[in-house]
Amino acid sequence: MKITRISAYQAKLPYVGGTYCWGRGNVIDTALTTVVTVDTDARISGCGECCPFGANYLAAYPEGIVPALARLAPALIGKDPRQLHAIERAMDNALKGHVYAKTALDNACWDILGKACDLPVWALLGGRLTDGAPMYRVVPQKPLEESAREMAAHRKAGYRQFQIKVGNDWKADIDSILQAASLLQPGENAYADANMGWTVDEAVKVVRAVRDTGLMIEQPCATYEECLHVRSRSELPTKLDECVTGIDVAERIVHDRSAEVVCLKISNLGGLTKARRVRDYLIEHGLSVVSEDTWGGEITTAAVAHFAASTPPELLYNTTDLHNYDTVTSGTPGPRTAAGRLYAGEAPGLGVEPNLTALGQPVAVYQ
């Protein structure tokens, strides 16, 4: 089997809640997603998706993905997409970095492998260990009454974990965290996600002020070293996110015991091939992980669902249904959600096909 053509599509995904606010005053209402299709001479095609979201991921902003594909795609034409490590090496040799573009291609090759083997991707990743991954729901930066209404609506839908967006004005963030803790009901938990929005000094002040809440603090500062400094002065559990970019960071986390939970954004790592390597290393050392991505539609969520399904339940902290944050679909059908849980399907591959009606004509074709 050989790759004969690679096509790239782009579409805007409006946020279902109107405006989405997070650290340092960042606000966005629409994300630009890139869907890649990989065709083969065996008449089996696969799809992948990547969707950098907002200024936090500016280094890989969507406008840079198509130029990256222009370097990557020629290196893959004629290659066997089922040989995942060979595909990984070919991409890394053709272009350094640009993990978002590589993610779409890597995941599409997993999709092809699953279809060729007549197996869902979760089976290829090691088997279904979690049948229905618990999901969290984001509560963006809004006044208390609005946040309470959103949490109540999510609670009715079965969610029991909430991510509270902070990282703006650190003094106001203290109030937000205290208020969020007061809204929790028995059996629920929440964590405060600063999205790299605090300085070290601000973060230390916040964790000391809210230590009695017991809430987890997520990615308080921009770099791993800054987060480690805050961790050393905090009694609260820590979750690391944006700074987790590869196995080297995972090794530091294990060595330093710098977090209880590690968020694995598939596009931040370069696709399912690299993400599985990082996940397996972390769970081997007893750390809990989150299966998710920066943003995206049904194709992204399908990859997240398969990744979550192949993770041991006792070490899967949570996941999320990114496609339900959008008003436009990137693919069909979307992964099933029920009672606050995300399910990976039984269909071969990722179990989703691109929604060409929404995606329109390709922005680039390589063959």
The residues that are catalytic are: 165, 265
Instruction: Compute how many other C-beta atoms are within 10 angstroms of the C-beta atom of residue 205.
Output: 17
Written as six digits, the tokens of 219 are 């990615």
User: CA–CA separation, 47 vs 42, rounded Å?
Assistant: 15
Q: Which of 338, 271, 314 is nearest to 91 (CA)?
A: 271
DSSP 255: H
* CA 229 and chain centroid, separation: 25
**183 vs 365: CA distance, rounded Å:** 50
Q: What is the DSSP-derived secondary structure letter of residue 120?
A: B
3-state helix, strand, coil in the chain (%, to 5): 45, 25, 35
Contact present, 136 and 161 (Cβ < 8 Å): yes
State the distance between the two ends of the chain, measured CA to CA, in whole angstroms: 15
Cβ–Cβ under 8 Å, residues 295 and 286: no
CB contact at 8 A, 185 and 208: no
Instruction: Quote the CA–CA distance of 248 and 263 in Å, as a whole number.
Output: 15
Strand, helix or coil for residue 330: coil
